[in-house]
Structure formats: structure tokens, C-alpha cells
Amino acid sequence: MASLILFGMTAVAQTNLSFLTSKGALRAYAVEQAVTACGQLSAPTQVGNQINSWGNILNTNHTSADILSTYANKLLSITILNPKDQIYLNAWVLNGDGDALFYGGTGTYPVYSKGGGGYVLPQLSVKLILASVIPVKFNKPVSNADIVYTDPVTGQTANYQQLASNGNKVYFPTDSAGKGFLQVNFTDGTQMSYDIHTGAGGADTGISVPEQTWTESTIDNLVQYKDPWTYGVVNTLQSSQGIGLNRTYELILSSKGYVGFQLNTSEGANATGYWYRTFGSQNWLYVPAINGIGQIPVTSAGTWYVVPDWDPSQFREPDPVISSLNGKG
């Protein structure tokens, strides 16, 4: 995870983009930015104007568990015409502007209960995936923005990607976190640049299907620990030929102290260090690791985020699909 650099001007709170330096940091940022968690039950032949959706406004100081509780043990029903149709369950986590931060979905078919009671659906679970783009809000209107990617070996400029923008927001592709430089041009003519190097007829009224929507939910590659003082955090991340998905660790701590971390990959690579911050701060701090072992100095109770750092020659996330620099302009 690289440090944030602003070229030509001093950083201010609204433009601290340290959360773009890695996908792990971006995942933690998305959890904090969440305002609403909502879900929906639907089917191709659902009857009438049914309302089969629900939502939860999150507290300001929420954690990932508060998001996931929106989908736990929800008992819903839907009236359908055709029991052979698949019933869909979808979830979204949104920010205050209604932009998607996480999404998830699954589907299954109703099964007729041999013991009576009509059709039922099996219990389901859903995994919330970080959205493909995350909105980054600035303190003035944006004209356009792009990412300049650098070659991970030579460090030289390789190619670029133009980004969508709307008003004060730039929509940042999550797979590009930590991959180069972000350039933002504003409508007032100024520019800021950031280093982020990381129906049926008759009497048929349909079939009522009671639905247990989710009994287990997760956020992809985010793991929460509550007071892991005794054993610390010991994990193995899956990798293939040095490529895999990094994780975000959310610590819910009742006191201050040191939290031990020992992380490696399935191919034997050890974490070289750990980036960490407390909830609400964008100031990521770093502690080195020896053979994957590091101690996170927690200075207060509350929620903390930790993102492991790796030698990119041993473990890194897949590169995004990007256009050629020669096509720019």
C-alpha cells in the first residue's frame, strides 16, 4: 500500500484518497460509507404489485456485522403463479447518494412439502461482493478523471483508463486500487493528481411461498474478529502462481493493547507487514512483519481495520483489464 501523494497542492480531508491504495483498504472504506442495506425477493410470475423488499438504515458507527444483520433470519413470502419458476433473492448496500457499495444475489426453486403446508424454499445464504466501481466524492464539480497505470516491474507508465464522473463524484474501479496514479480535472480548470500505487385467469390466485431468505451472509474477503487477544489472527490466503485475493480484517476491540497477526499464502509466502487504522480515520499506519508475524498496536477500544502487505513478486491481486495508452486522446 503506497502513501498518498498530492502533486502541486496540500492534501485536505475531503481529498485524502488513501483508501484507493489497495482493494483491502477500499473494502474497509466501503463498509464505513454504507448508509442503507436492502434486499428484494422476486419471481417472473409473481402476482400483483407485491412489495417484497426491505431495508435497514445503518447507525453511523456501524460494523460489517450490522450490515449483515439486515439479511439474517428474514422470513418473507411471495405469491407466484408457476411453482417451476426460480425465485430470486438480491441484496444491495448503498451509500447516502444511493450508489451501490456491495451487492449479492442467489436463486432457488420452491419445493412442495410432502408433510403438507404447500410450497417452501430451502434456506439460503448470500455473499456480498464489493461493487465493481466505488464513488469517490470531491469538494467541487469534476470535469473528467483517469487512471494512469504503471508497469509493476519497470515502474514506467504502461496504459490508462478514463473514469466515469457525475457532479462531484468519480466512479473508481475497485480492481484498480493500488495500481498507479489518479488524475482528476475539475470544472474550474484545476487538477489534482494522486499516487495510489496499490398473470393467470379464473380463481387461481397463485402459490404462497414462505421464504427464509438468508441464514448466513458474508462480505467477500472481509473477516471480522472480536477481541482476538489470546490467539491473535492466524490465516492462510489462497494463491495460485503468486496471484490471489487479499483480505480486509475488521477488529472489534473492547480495550487497547497489541493484536498479533500471522498471515501467509497457500504457496508459502509470508506477509511482509500490516497496514492498520481505526474507524473513521484515513491515516493508515504500518508495522513490518517477520515471517508473516506482526503486532498491531491498538491505542483505543473500538473498530480497527487491518490490511496485510505482501511482496508483489510472491503474492499480488489480479491486474485489471485496461486499455492501451496508445489509444488515449
Q: Which amino acid is at 147?
A: I
Q: Would you place residue 282 in the very low, low, confident or very high pLDDT band (cuts 50, 70, 90)?
A: confident
- Spatial neighbors of 74 by CB under 8 A, at least 6 apart, are 39, 54, 212, 213, 214
Which tens digit of pLDDT belongs to each residue from 167-208? 999 999 999 888 888 888 888 888 888 888 763 332 333 445
Is pLDDT at 9 greater than 60 in this prediction? no
Alpha-carbon dihedral sign for residues 113, 52, 38, 237:
positive
> Nearest to residue 187, comparing CAs of 207, 170, 210, 171?
170
- Report how far apart, in Å, the C-alpha atoms of 161 and of each of 19, 24, 150, 155, 173 are: 19, 21, 12, 17, 10
Radius of gyration (C-alpha) of the chain in whole angstroms: 23
Return the SS3 of 67. Answer: helix
Lowest mean pLDDT among 35-49, 67-81, 103-117, 313-327: 313-327
**Spatial separation of the C-alpha atoms in residues 278 and 276, rounded to whole Å:** 7
Which tens digit of pLDDT belongs to each residue from 121-137? 777 778 899 999 999 98
Instruction: Find the helix or strand (DSSP H, E) in which 28 lies.
Output: helix 23-33
Q: Which amino acid is at 286?
A: Y
- Spatial neighbors of 232 by CB under 8 A, at least 6 apart, are 259, 260, 261, 262
Average pLDDT over residues 145-163: 83
- Report how far apart, in Å, the C-alpha atoms of 50 and of each of 100, 161, 208, 256 are: 24, 42, 12, 49
Phi, psi of 176 (to 5 degrees): -95, 0
What residues does each domain of the chain span? Answer: 30-133+202-217, 134-195, 221-309
Q: Would you place residue 321 in the very low, low, confident or very high pLDDT band (cuts 50, 70, 90)?
A: low
**Model pTM score:** 0.76
Which tens digit of pLDDT belongs to each residue from 57-110? 999 899 999 998 888 777 677 788 888 888 888 899 999 999 999 999 888 888
